[in-house]
Structure 1
Amino acid sequence: MALTVCVLLLASCNKSGDEQATDAEAAKEEPTLEPLTSENAVEVLTAYGKEHPDSIAVISTRHGDIKVRLYKDTPLHRANFVRLAKAGFYDQGEFYRVVKGFAIQGGDSDNRTMKQGGYKIPQEFNPKHYHKRGALAMARYGDERNPEKESSSHNFYIVQGEVISPEELKAYEAQNKMKYTPEQIKTYTTVGGEPSLDQQYTVFGEVIEGMDVVNKIAEEPVDAAQNWPKNIVQHKIKITNQ
């Protein structure tokens, strides 16, 4: 099953003049984020990553907190995640796609007012980083529009996954043209994950605390057509390094 960048469509509502004025005042106080483009994203993120070596983030939801460690050998993805989180961009997001036994996907919301720009992140595939249970990775558009498998600017997902049989894992090795290490084989066949996504999407971190929260989100009732949670699961992301 492939993860794609999808948009959650929410019904809009009409507001009174007083409410619109209040919104305008609030917008002036919101933190700002300089939008990036495909032309300057790598340069900006490279420089930002050197100035901000942070590698721990806490994703807070109504179900509890998920603490993740960001990999330093995926520097562009780490810098991008830290940059958006520190700017408050992810505080306007939610887990908008939930597939039990597969993954929960977040980072987007139709209610967001902050803009990040229309850019993609070059893939940073690393055979050391695979889609084990708890892996943090970036979503992307499909192969036809994105042959280089560049990542979305902001949509991320956390793998829930299931235990994989040795026979299934061998099939995925052939499919993805890769060879799993004994440790990776043990993890997939005893803990679980989603090997179908390996070398297709960039894994740039992992859950170190709060996998129970991921499981709770995965249990949310969803719309059968789009896998959208019927009850919004908002998230806020704080860079903590603790």
Structure 2
Amino acid sequence: MFLSNLLGTYTRPLSVCAALLLALSTACNQSPPETAATTQQPTTPPPVPGPNLTALADSNVVELLTPYLREHPGSEVLLHTRLGTMRLRLYDDTPIHKANFLLLIRKGVFNETLFQRVEKGLVIQGGRSTNRTIAINRYRLPPEIRPEHFHKKGALAMARYDDDQNPGQLSSGIDFYIVQGKKLAPNQSQAVAGRKLTPAQVQTYATEGGLPSLDGRYTVFGEVVEGLDVLDKIADEPIDAYKWPKKDVNMKMEVVGG
């Protein structure tokens, strides 16, 4: 009896515990009630304002880029590389080249490019890409060659084909270069210049350096205002037989102020 009563006394509490454990187990194994999906779907960033890059052509760049610059102005650009950053100022009196450069930067085109040609004492040239994902048409810009803008050290200009293939001196839509050049004695700079130089320009070539042989032949539309040391570092990079830096010098660009 005593033993039976003891077993009976402890059996009931154990049964209650077992029932409680079963209830908890059942509750844990139940699926939670279905609720509405809370996972956020990725959003597409808003399109960058401006002409469609695949629509640009020699025949319509002035028509498309003129209103773009009026609606989306900008004057300074930061060009970032692994060797440092250059700050570029774009000229107001070369509006088509300025608008084109701003458009390509804001569309992210130059962020997929690198400096593909480096010639120490001459220029560093960029704008090409080995891995382009942004679709862009091939087009050219009308020349905006002005005598007050010359190829001093730090000058920003657009590349183009030579006169025999391009007598209209139309600029490339994407290939640009920055002048390093060399210092030249006054008689040297005028002797090789593509046009008559002013006394101030002759003095600049003597004290700062540049490449006067390109004056009057290519559109200069801006200049480096900070970071000439970065220009020199890029020009010092080892290059291969094709003048391509052995270690890629990629770039990222942004318009100051958006």
Per the normalisation by structure 2, the TM-score is: 0.78
Residue 232 of structure 1 pairs with residue 252 of structure 2:
no
Please report the RMSD computed on the Cα atoms of aligned residues, expressed in angstroms.
1.7
Which of these two proteins has the greater Rg computed from alpha carbons?
2
Deviation at 1:220, TM superposition (A): 0.7
Deviation at 1:172, TM superposition (A): 2.5
Quick check: 2:186–2:203 contact (8 Å CA) kept in 1?
Answer: no
Matched with 1:121 is 141
Structure 2: gaps (5+ residues): 1-43
Matched with 1:24 is none
Quick check: 2:125–2:177 contact (8 Å CA) kept in 1?
Answer: yes
Deviation at 1:179, TM superposition (A): 2.1
Matches within 5 A, 1:91-240: 91-173=111-193, 176=194, 178-224=195-241, 226-240=242-256
Higher relative contact order (CA 8 A, sep 6+): 1
Matching residue's letter, 1:64: G
Matching residue's letter, 1:155: D
Deviation at 1:143, TM superposition (A): 1.4
Structure 1: gaps (5+ residues): 1-27
Per the normalisation by structure 1, the TM-score is: 0.83
**Structure 1 residues 49 and 119: alpha-carbon distance in aligned structure 2, compared to 1, 3 A threshold:** same
Deviation at 1:119, TM superposition (A): 0.8
Quick check: 2:90–2:221 contact (8 Å CA) kept in 1?
Answer: yes
Once residues 179 and 232 of structure 1 are traced to their aligned partners in structure 2, the CA distance between those partners, rounded to angstroms, is 38
Matches within 5 A, 1:45-56: 45-56=65-76
Matched with 2:99 is 79
Once residues 34 and 201 of structure 1 are traced to their aligned partners in structure 2, the CA distance between those partners, rounded to angstroms, is 23
Structure 1 window deviating more from structure 2 (106-115 vs 86-95): it is 106-115
Identity fraction in percent: 49
**Aligned positions, number:** 211
